Amino acid sequence: MSGDNAGINLTDTFPKLLAHNALTLCDRVSIREKAFGIWQSWTWSEVAEEVRMLACGLKSLGINDGDKVIICGDNRPRLYWSMTAVQAMGCIPVPVYQDSVAEEMQYIYEHAEARFSIVEDQEQVDKVLEIKEKLPALEHVVYDDPRGLRNYNQPFLHSFQDVQELGRKHNSENPGLYDDSVASKSGDDTCIMLYTSGTTGRPKGVMLSHNSIIITARNASNMDGLTDEDSILAYLPMAWVGDNLFSVGQAYTTGICINCPESSETVLEDLREVGPSYFFAPPRIFENILTTATIRIEDSAKFKQRMFHYFMGVAKRVGIDILDGNRVAFIDRLLYSLGDLLVYGPLKNVLGLSNIKLAYTGGVAIGPDIFVFYRSLGLNLKQLYGSTEACVFISMQRNGEVRPDTSGKAAPDVDIKIADNGEVMFRGPGTFQGYFKNEEATRETKTDDGWVLTGDAGFLDDDNDLHIIDRAKDVGKLTNNDMFAPNFIENKLKFFPQIREAVTFGDGRDYVASFINIDLESVANWAERKNLAYSGYTDLAGQESVAELIKDCVEKVNADLAVDENLRSSQIKRFLILHKELDADDGELTRTRKVRRNVITERYSELINALYSDASHCEIEAQVTFEDGRSGTIRADLQIRDAKVIGSNQSVAAE
Amino acid sequence: MTQERQFGNTILNVENVSLSFGGVKALDSVSFDVLEGEVRAIIGPNGAGKSSMLNCINGFYKPTECTIAFKGESHHQMETHQAASMGIARTFQNIALFKGMTTLDNVMTGRNLKMKKNFLWQSLYFGPAVKEELEHREAAERVIDFLEIESIRKTVVGRLPYGLQKRVELARALAAEPEMLLLDEPMAGMNHEEKEDMCRYILDVNEQFSTTIVLIEHDMSVVMDISDRVVVLDYGEKIADGTPDEVRANQRVVDAYLGVKHD
C-alpha cells in the first residue's frame, strides 16, 4: 500500500482510509442494507459524506477528543458509519452486544465512562433509559430507527438525521474541522475498545490500535487474495472482534462490500439473496445449516435420498482432492461434475453458498465430519484460531494445507510459541494495547517483550500446525493424575447433532461425568419420526428413549477416547440430561456461547454431587429468565445414567 | 392514557340498528358514534351481537332498519365494496386470508382497490402497469416493515402460526390505507406476549396513521388499556357507553358479565 507522503501516513487510521477509498473507489458500493424489501446501496463517496456529517454533528453536541462512545444494535450501515465518525473526532467507539440485558450494559457504560451512545432502535433506547439515572456521565443518546420513539421527548435523545443536520450546519461553519481532526490521529492511537465476554469475572475492555486492525486485515486479505470484487454478509455481532476485522478492517483496507441483513430472523434468506464470496461463521452455524439440510433430505422422496447419498459418497471420496488440486481419476472427476450439477450445486444454492470463494470458521473446534462435508462440496472452508487480544488472527490454514484437526500455521507476521506449562503464546502486529483501566490484568496477559498469553493449552506439531486442546485453566487432573481436558471431551459430544451443549466434570474426581443439553430441533425431528409424543423441551429431554439415544452418543465418544492412552481415563462414566437449555440470559453461557463453569458448578452443585454418588435420580429447581426479563423457576426430577466405559484402566475398573 | 387525547368530528354514526335472524333479534335499536382518531371498543358476553354490529357497519349484513352514516354520508343499506372504497377495512374473527398465497401477495390484495389499471394491463405487466405495481409494492413493503413481518414475506400464509396469521390479516387491512379499521377479536387465541405485541401495533396504527379503530375484544384488560370509549352490548341491546372507567363502574355491565340472581 502506498500512502506515505512526507512522513505522514495517509492510510493508517480508518477515517483516513475512508477518505482514501472515497477517492480511489468512489463509485464502488461500500455497503448495502435491505430495507422495504429492496437492497439499498451506498458508495464509498456517499459513505464518506454521511460519516462527515455525523462526526460534525457529534462535535456540535460537544464530543471531545478521547471520549468513549457506546454503539449498540444489529449490523446496520449507520452504526458502522458511527464507528468511523467517532474515530474521526478522535474518540473511541465501544460496541456492545445488542442482546445484553440492561445491568450488563450498565457495567460497560460505567467502566468506559461513556458520555455518548449511539443505538439502533426503541428496544435499545429503552434499555438505556432504564439505566440512565445511574449513569451521570452519559449525556447524549443518538438512535438510528425512529419507529416507536415519537413520544419520547427526553432532551438528551437525538435522531441520527437530526445529528447529521446539526453536522451539516457545523461543517459549513467550520469547514476544516473534520479534515484537521482526522489528520491529527495516527495508527498508534486507540481505534476501538471491545469488551470481552469473559468466562470468569467482569468483562475487560480490550484496546486495539488502528495499526493492529489495519495491518492484520491487510495481511489476511493478501494471503487469501481477496479484492474489492468480494462481498461479505455482516451478521455477527458488532461487539465481536471478528466483525470488526471482517466487516470493517477488511472492508476498509481491501474494499470488500458489506451486506447488512434485513433483520436477525432473515439472515439465511439474505445469505441466499446476496450470495457472498467471503463468509465467516462459527461452527454452530455450519452445524445448524447441515442439520436443517439433513432433516429435509430425510423427509424427501426415496429416489432423491438415494441420489443424495450416492453423490455425497463420491464427494467424500474425491471432493477434497479436487478442491486441493490433487490428481484425481478422470471418471471420478466426471462423476463429481455430475454430482455438482445434480446435488452439490443446488444444495449450495439453497444454502446461499454458491459464490463462496473463501469461508472461515473458528472460535471453538468444528466437528471433523461437518468440516469434511463442506469441503467435499467444493467449499473452501478453513479454520482459524484467534482472540480479541490479537485482532482475530493468531493462526490460519493455508490453501492446500487444510486438515480437520488443526488450526493451521501462524498468521502472517505472527509468532507463536508454547509456554512451559503448555499455554499458547503469540506476538504480532495485532497485539492489543492493554485492558482499559486494568493494568494488573494487562501485565498478567502481556509480557514486556510483547508476548501475549492466550489462556489456551495447545501444541505445535511437526508441520508447525497449531493444535488447541482446551482453555489452560480448565485443564485439570483426575485423581489418578491423568490429564482431564473438559472442552476437548465436550466438543466431541457436541459433534453429535443431537447434543447442543455439554459440560463435563472431572478435575480432582475419580472419573468424568457430564451434563448434556439435547438439541431441540434435531431430537424433535427424530422423535417425530419415531412417533414419540412430548409436550416441550423439558418433557422431551426427560424421555427414556431420548436418554438411550444420548447414551449411544456418549458411548461412541468413550470408544473414541479409549483409543488414546492419555485420554482413556477421561471416558464419561455417568451423565444426565438437563431439563433446560443453558442460556446466556441466565448467566450460564457467555454471549458468545461459551460455558461459564463456575456459574454452572455453583448453580447445579446438587446435580454434580448426585453424579458422583450412587443416586439414580436427583431433584432440581432452576431459575430461568424469560425473554421479557421476568424470571421463574422450573422444577424437575432428573435421571442419572451410567455409560459403558471401555478398557481396563484402573480408575474406571475400580468399581 | 396519560395525556388527554383529542379527537376530531364524528366519523361514524350508527342509529337504531336492528337486525333479526328469523325470530332471533341479534341487534335491537343500537345507536352509538365513533369519533375521528379514537379507539372504540365493542364488548359484551357471547352472542351479544358484537360481530353482527361490525358486519352491519361494513355492509356484510343488511340490517332491517337503521341509519349508518360514515363521514357524514348516510346509507340505509351499504354494500361491502362500497364500504371498502369509502375507507373502511376490517379483519375477521376466524382469519380470512388466502391460505395458499404468500404473505406479500396477501398484503398486495389489500391494495386492490387502489389499483387503477385493469386486469389486462396487469397481466401484460408492461409500461405503466409496471410503474403502478412498483408503487403498490412499495406501499405493501412499508406495511410489512411496520408490522415487522419481513422474515415471512415469502412464506405461504397457511403454514404460519396463528398469531402471525392475525398479523398478516392486519397488514392486509392496513395496506388499503383505511380511515377506519374494524378489528374483530384481533387478540383471540394469542398468548400474553403476542397480545402485548398486537396492542402495540394497534396503538401505533392509531397514532402514526391517525386511523380510527373499532375493535371487538374479549380480553377485558386489553380493552380497558387501549380503548378510549367502550360500547357494551348484551342480547342485542346497548347497555352502556362511555370511557373504560365509567363502563367498569356500571352495574348493568357487571350484571351482564357476572350474571344476576333470579328470584
Interchain proximity B150–A262, CB inside 8 Å: yes
**A594: closest CA of chain B, how far (Å):** 28
Interchain proximity B145–A35, CB inside 8 Å: yes
Which of A501, A522, A465 has its CA nearest to residue A594? A501
Q: Where along chain A do the CATH 3.40.50.12780 domains lie?
A: 4-210
pLDDT tens per residue across span B174-211: 999 999 999 999 988 888 888 888 998 999 899 888 89
Interchain proximity A266–B148, CB inside 8 Å: no
Which residues of B, range 81-140, sit inside 8 Å of A by Cβ? 104, 137-138
Q: Is A534 exposed, middle or buried (0-12, 13-18, 19+ CB in 10 A)?
A: middle
Residue of A36, A265, A269 with shortest CB distance to B141? A36
Query: B244 and B5 in contact (C-beta within 8 Å)?
Result: no
B74 pLDDT above the threshold of 90: no
Secondary structure element (H or E) that encloses residue A417, with its range: strand A415-418
Nearest-angstrom CA–CA distance, A575 and A323: 40
pLDDT above 90 covers what percent of chain B? 37
pLDDT of residue A4: 43
Of A7-16, A243-252, B134-143, B238-247, the one with minimum mean pLDDT is A7-16
Interchain proximity B145–A628, CB inside 8 Å: no
Q: Residue B84 is which amino acid? A: A
Query: Sign of the C-alpha dihedral, residues A489, A491, A495, A499?
Result: positive
Superfamily of domain B1-87+178-263: P-loop containing nucleotide triphosphate hydrolases (3.40.50.300)
Bridge partners (DSSP) of residue A572 are A512
Residue numbers in A near B204 (CB within 8 A): 148
What would the grid cell of residue A165 be? Answer: 443536520
Q: Residue A479 is which amino acid? A: T
Interface probe for A, chosen from B3, B149, B150 (most Cβ of A below 10 Å), is B150
CATH code linked to domain A4-210: 3.40.50.12780
CATH for A475-653 (3.30.300.30, 3.30.930.10, 2.20.70.10, 3.40.50.10540):
3.30.300.30
B256 pLDDT above the threshold of 90: no
Residue of B137, B146, B150 with shortest CB distance to A266? B150
CA distances from B110 to A610, B186, B187 (A): 61, 17, 21
Query: A321 and A328 in contact (C-beta within 8 Å)?
Result: yes
pLDDT of residue A168: 96
Query: A445 and A477 in contact (C-beta within 8 Å)?
Result: no
Q: Is A585 exposed, middle or buried (0-12, 13-18, 19+ CB in 10 A)?
A: middle
Q: Provide φ and ψ at A324, rounded to 5°.
A: -80, -5
Average pLDDT over residues B224-247: 91
Q: Is B23 exposed, middle or buried (0-12, 13-18, 19+ CB in 10 A)?
A: exposed
Residue of B137, B146, B151 with shortest CB distance to A263? B151
Average pLDDT, chain B: 87
pLDDT of residue A290: 84
Residue of B141, B146, B207 with shortest CB distance to A37? B141
**Long-range Cβ pairs for the range A435-442 (8 Å, 24+):** A435/A204, A435/A205, A435/A206, A435/A207, A436/A111, A436/A112, A436/A193, A436/A204, A436/A205, A436/A206, A436/A207, A437/A111, A437/A205, A438/A204, A438/A205, A441/A204
Bridge partners (DSSP) of residue B33 are B13
Residue numbers in A near B151 (CB within 8 A): 262-263, 265-266, 269
CA distances from B100 to A37, A571, B154 (A): 21, 53, 11
Residue of B138, B154, B208 with shortest CB distance to A36? B138
Q: What is the DSSP pairing of strand A257-260 with strand A278-280?
A: unpaired
Residue of A150, A266, A628 with shortest CB distance to B151? A266
Which residues of B, range 180-209, sit inside 8 Å of A by Cβ? 193, 200, 204, 207-208
pLDDT tens per residue across span A364-413: 788 888 899 999 999 999 999 999 999 999 999 998 889 888 899 999 99
Nearest-angstrom CA–CA distance, A92 and A63: 11
pLDDT of residue B127: 79
Nearest-angstrom CA–CA distance, A205 and A110: 12
Interchain proximity B151–A35, CB inside 8 Å: no
Grid look-up 439515572 returns: A133
Residue of B104, B145, B204 with shortest CB distance to A148? B204
Which of A58, A21, A4, A43 has its CA nearest to residue A181? A58
**B85: closest CA of chain A, how far (Å):** 26
Query: B179 and B212 in contact (C-beta within 8 Å)?
Result: yes
Grid look-up 501462524 returns: A410
Nearest-angstrom CA–CA distance, A642 and A655: 12
**A111: closest CA of chain B, how far (Å):** 34
Which of A405, A375, A357 has its CA nearest to residue A315? A375
Secondary structure element (H or E) that encloses residue A360, with its range: strand A358-361
Q: Residue A294 is which amino acid? A: T
CA distances from A381 to A152, A188, A358, B215 (A): 47, 33, 6, 55
Query: A232 and A279 in contact (C-beta within 8 Å)?
Result: yes
Residue numbers in A near B148 (CB within 8 A): 263
Interchain proximity A36–B142, CB inside 8 Å: yes
Instruction: Report the half-sphere exposure of A531 (CA within 13 A, side-chain side).
Output: 0
Which residues of B, range 21-80, sit inside 8 Å of A by Cβ? none
pLDDT tens per residue across span A162-189: 999 999 999 999 999 999 999 999 999 9
Secondary structure element (H or E) that encloses residue B28, with its range: strand B24-35
* Residue B1 binned pLDDT confidence (cut-offs 50, 70, 90): very low
**B200: closest CA of chain A, how far (Å):** 9
pLDDT tens per residue across span A400-441: 889 888 899 999 999 999 998 889 999 999 999 999 999 998
What would the grid cell of residue A286 be? Answer: 455450519
Interface of A with B (CB under 8 A): 35-38, 147-148, 150-151, 262-263, 265-266, 269, 627-628
pLDDT tens per residue across span B149-160: 998 999 999 999
Average pLDDT over residues B211-228: 89
SS3 B49: coil
Interchain proximity B154–A37, CB inside 8 Å: no
Instruction: Report the half-sphere exposure of A627 (CA within 13 A, side-chain side).
Output: 4
Which of A378, A25, A370 has its CA nearest to residue A230? A25
Nearest-angstrom CA–CA distance, A438 and A432: 13
Query: A113 and A68 in contact (C-beta within 8 Å)?
Result: yes
**Long-range Cβ pairs for the range A192-195 (8 Å, 24+):** A192/A83, A192/A87, A192/A92, A192/A93, A192/A94, A192/A95, A192/A244, A193/A68, A193/A92, A193/A93, A193/A94, A193/A112, A193/A436, A194/A94, A194/A95, A194/A239, A194/A240, A194/A241, A194/A244, A194/A388, A195/A94, A195/A96, A195/A108, A195/A239
Residue of A nearest to B197 (CA): A628
Residues 6+ apart with CB under 8 A from A538: A579, A580, A634, A636
**A250: closest CA of chain B, how far (Å):** 29
Residues 6+ apart with CB under 8 A from A468: A365, A385, A407, A424, A456, A457, A458
Grid look-up 480508518 returns: A14
Residue numbers in B near A628 (CB within 8 A): 193
- Residue ranges of chain A whose pLDDT lies below 50: 1-6, 649-655
**A462: closest CA of chain B, how far (Å):** 49
B141 in reach of chain A (CB within 8 A): yes
pLDDT of residue B262: 66
Query: A620 and A633 in contact (C-beta within 8 Å)?
Result: no
Interchain proximity A269–B151, CB inside 8 Å: yes
Residue numbers in B near A150 (CB within 8 A): 207-208
Average pLDDT over residues B118-130: 77
Residue numbers in A near B193 (CB within 8 A): 627-628
CA distances from B5 to B36, B207, B229 (A): 11, 11, 12
Average pLDDT over residues B22-40: 90
Q: Which residues of A382-414 are buried (b: 16+ CB within 10 A; e: fewer)?
A: bbbbbbbbbbbbbbbbeeeebebebbbbbbbeb
Nearest-angstrom CA–CA distance, A411 and A384: 9
Residue of B nearest to A35 (CA): B145
Interchain proximity A37–B144, CB inside 8 Å: yes
Query: A57 and A163 in contact (C-beta within 8 Å)?
Result: yes
Interface probe for B, chosen from A36, A120, A147, A626 (most Cβ of B below 10 Å), is A36
B144 in reach of chain A (CB within 8 A): yes
Residue of B nearest to A150 (CA): B208
Domain boundaries, chain B: 1-87+178-263, 97-171
Measured from the Cβ of residue A432, the count of other Cβ atoms closer than 10 Å reads 23
The angle, 0 to 180 degrees and rounded to 10, between the axes of the packed helices A14-24 and A44-60 is: 140
Q: Which residues of A622-636 are buried (b: 16+ CB within 10 A; e: fewer)?
A: beeeeeeeeeeeeeb
Residue of A nearest to B142 (CA): A36
pLDDT of residue A627: 66
